[in-house]
Structure formats: structure tokens, C-alpha cells
Amino acid sequence: MRCESCSDVFHHRAKQGGEEGSFLLNIFQTSTSAICSRATFIENFQRTNTIHTMPNIKLQSSDGETFEVDVEIAKCSVTIKTMLEDLGMDEDDEEVVPLPNVNSAILRKVIQWATYHKDDPPPPEDDDNKEKRTDDISSWDADFLKVDQGTLFELILAANYLDIKGLLDVTCKTVANMIKGKTPEEIRKTFNIKNDFTPSEEEQVRKENEWCEEK
Amino acid sequence: MHLLDLPGDDVILKIIDYLSPQDWLNFRCVCKQTYFLVHEYFKYMKYLDLSHHKVLPQALCQVLPQLCHSLKVFKISNSKIFNDECIKTIIQNNHNLNHLDLSNSNLKNGTLQPLVVNCKKLEKILLKNCVWLTVGAIEILAFHFPDTIKVADFSGCTGISEASIILFVKRQPKLISLSLSDLSCLQDETLVKISQFCPQLMYLNISRCCRITDSGIKKFAEYCHTVRTLKVDGCEVSERSLSWLRSRGVWIDKPQYPSYLLHRLNQIQTWPRTQL
């Protein structure tokens, strides 16, 4: 923990107990494990200051763990939102939404991302008239995605299955940044990809990549 | 979990969308699957900007015209990498083209022919310094193109005439931005027609059109009430006409006062005050 004054205030509020208290304790513990910096800590604290009671929903991961999440945060997933609307589920129902394609570790991370981004405006539709950029990843997201490749790809799969555009965009940008500027051999090393071209095929592809002379 | 285990259509193509042309080339060399995926990507690619590329690998020169079918934006200004046939093929195959930029290119007149037949959704056409563009080409665009164009740039297209420009604007009432700089054929009459036929015009660039006079600007100001930006640098026009537009909040690139006078005013303001 880097900021003692913030952590003291946090601890105090968490100790007051109740639903808010346990929620805060969860964030506090999550932040501790992420070794969050002072700025991030204050941000988290300010966000949690706006907590008020909201209806919850239960999400069940593929390995049977249940997560209680407020329904507005869960609805950032178009898949979950559609399920709720199609099934006509009331927000007070004790029903559990099963997510057989997402394990608990990844679901926990997805909920953490969605909670942090709960007040974000809806992501705009892709503008096909503009070049796609990868240099606009926020520092929080960059820290959040400092994970091993396996986890990153699992997050992409989860964001794709759950249809969470913001998370899918930022994870794809992160992978694109891992490819950018690298030679084919460097890309193979980064992602542990086997070169399955025969020597003559590889020669052909390398020839195709030669720069044409200026006309 | 491996990169290539990710779903191709939904995810890997989305990742390739963030890469530059050089990165596509490197990625396709990695293995057979990435080779296939990059080629698949070209079929769904919507945005292609190869402006300022003087050279491009043979692979892309051949492959792109054949595979691209979903382009909305195609920019190759200041670039000589594609010949006329390649550009014609790309235009022919991409019916959803919305934005075409061939500025500073060196092509033949017939290159735009498939545009008229195939691309009914074009909104931006940028042909700056395309000296190969003829009166006939503009007339064909005028007569056969739907009225979808919002942004047009024919600056420096010395092969076109005033009459063909008037014909074009007459048939494109949705124009918001029009650039006609460095055209010595342009006279006051064109400005009047532009103001009459383009009720939504917000940006007009007629820099260095030496035959435009104060009279043309005055008439333009009278009829066109939507313009917000006017570029007249290098035109023989003065505040007698420009002040009308300035008073309506129109931004004009020509300064209100000549620079030597501005400098003098600045000097006066910084003189030390003396007690009287």
C-alpha cells in the first residue's frame, strides 16, 4: 500500500460494515493485490463514495462460483442484458445467470473492469472513416491488463462471449501493440508460434514482401 | 491459451485492423495461418490509407486490388504505388466507397469511370492537383453521379473548366466543403452559382484564384448564409467585400489588416507613456 492516509480512510469506512463495508473491503483487498498507486487508490475511493443500494444479480462461472453484481454493472455485457430481457428476470429474483464459457478467475477480472468503468458513456460505434489507434489505452486499463498472455486471451474470449465492446477493444489494442513493430521471428517468439512454412514457401513469402522499385 | 486459438472472424481480424501496412506484411510471414488471416482481413478491411507511400511490396500491390471488397475509405494521395488498372479494380470492387482521395496522383482520365457506375455512396472526393482530370470527366461525374457528395476538392486541377465546375455544383446540393484553390479559370460567376446551388456550404477555399474580385465575394456573401470558413489568400479581394462576411462571424484566412500595419499598431501600443 502506498498511500497511508487513503488506506486509513478506506479501512475506517470498510470497518463500518454492512453491504457498503464489505464492498469496500473487496475493493480494498483487490487494490492491495494489484499494488495500486496513490492515484489509482484515490480514484477507486472516489468511485466507491457514490455507492448506494442497487439491485443485484448473481452470475455463475463455469466452475460453479457465484458472483453478486449490481445489475447495471452486469448489463454492460450485451449478452447478459439480452438474457435478462429475454428471460424476463426481475431484478430482485434469486435466479442465477449461468456463464458456462467463463471461469471464476476471469469472471472476477471482468467484473472488476466493469465496476471501474461503470460510469463510462456507452462506447461509440466503430468509425470506419478513421484510422484505428492503439495509443489511447488509459493507465488504469494498461495496469489492469499487465497479465500473462493466457489471461489476456481468456479476457478477450470472455469479452467477446459477453459482448462487452469496451473491454474487447482495449484487449485487442493491447495484443496489437504486442505485434506492432516486430519482425516475423520476433512475433513468433512473443507468441510461441511455430513457423510451418517449408523453406521454399518461406522464400516465396519473403520475396513477396520485398519493396517494389519506385515507379 | 494461444493467440491463434482466438476466433478468427471476431477477434484476430479485429486485432489486424489496428496494425499498419508494414505490420500486416510481418504478421503474414509468421506462419500459414497468419498468412491466411491477413488475406482474409483484406476482404473485410474498411479503411485503407497508403498516402505518402512511395513504394510498397509487390505482395500488397497485387493482392490488395484483388481482395479488397469492403472499403469505405481509400486514400493514396502523394503515392505512386498503384497504376491506373489497380485503382480502377479497387474502385470497381468496392461499392461502399465513401471517401476517395487520389490527390497529387498521376493517373489517366478513365480511372474514375468505375466510380460513376459502382460507387453510389461516395461522400468525399479529393482530387487535388490531379492535372489529368478533364472537363469530360467532371461532366460525367456531374451527370451520372447521385447527389451524395458532401466534400469535394478540385484544387489545382488545371484541366477542368469553369463551366464543368458549375455543372458539378449544380448537381450536388449537399456540398458542405468545396476546395477550388489555384484555378485560374474561376471567375466571379462561379461564386454566384456556388452560393445559389449549395445551400449547406460551410467551407470554401478559393485561394490564389486570381480572377475572383470583390464583386464576386459580395454576391457570394449575399446569397450564401451558411458559410463559416472562407480561404481567399492570394486573391485580389479587399475588406470592401470581406467585411460583410467577417461581420457575420465567418473565419477568413486573409488578415483584416496588412502585416506591416499590424506591426506598426503593435509598436504604438508598446511606446512608453509620457506625462503631459
CA B228 to chain centre: 18
Q: Per the structure block, which three cell numbers stand in for A100?
A: 458456462
Q: For residue range A123-143, what is the model confidence (pLDDT) as tens digits? A: 777 777 777 888 899 999 999
Q: For residue range B89-127, what is the model confidence (pLDDT) as tens digits? A: 999 999 999 999 999 988 887 888 888 888 889 999 999
CA distance A189 to chain B (A): 10
User: Which has more pLDDT, B71 or A35?
Assistant: B71
| Rounded CA separation B267/B71 (Å) | 56
| Rounded CA separation A102/A109 (Å) | 11
A195–B5: do the CB atoms touch at under 8 Å?
Answer: no
**B179 burial class (0-12, 13-18, 19+ CB within 10 angstroms)?**
buried
Mean pLDDT for B193-207 is 95
B13 closest CA partner among B2, B72, B33, A205: B33
Q: For residue range A61-113, what is the model confidence (pLDDT) as tens digits? A: 999 999 999 888 988 999 998 888 877 765 555 678 889 999 999 999 999 99
Q: Which of residues 177-206 of A touch B (CB under 8 A)?
A: 179-184, 187-188, 191-197, 201-202, 205-206
| Rounded CA separation B196/B225 (Å) | 10
Residue with cell 477550388: B180
* pLDDT higher than 80, residue B165: yes
Q: Per the structure block, which three cell numbers stand in for B202?
A: 460551410
Backbone angles phi, psi at B49, to 5 degrees: -125, 105
Q: Per the structure block, which three cell numbers stand in for A72?
A: 447495471
CA distance A211 to chain B (A): 4
Please calculate the CA angle A181-A185-A186 and round it to the nearest 5 degrees. Answer: 45
| Rounded CA separation A20/B201 (Å) | 56
Q: Which of residues 81-140 of B touch A (CB under 8 A)?
A: 81, 83, 98-99
* pLDDT higher than 50, residue A4: no
* B246 near A CB under 8 A: no
Find all residues with CB under 8 Å of A167, minimum gap 6, and list them: A110, A113, A114, A155, A158, A159
Mean pLDDT for A3-18 is 53
* A102 near B CB under 8 A: no
**Residues of chain B positioned with their CB less than 8 A from the CB of A128:** 46-47, 72-73, 98
Q: Per the structure block, which three cell numbers stand in for B8?
A: 478468427
Q: Hey, of B9, B14, B22, B56, which one would you mutate to test binding to chain A, going by the most A CBs within 10 A of its CB?
A: B14
A180 → chain B, closest CA residue? B23
* B28 near A CB under 8 A: yes
Residue B126, beta-bridge partner list: B101, B153
**B180 burial class (0-12, 13-18, 19+ CB within 10 angstroms)?**
buried
What is the amino acid identity at position B11? V
Model confidence pTM above 0.80: no
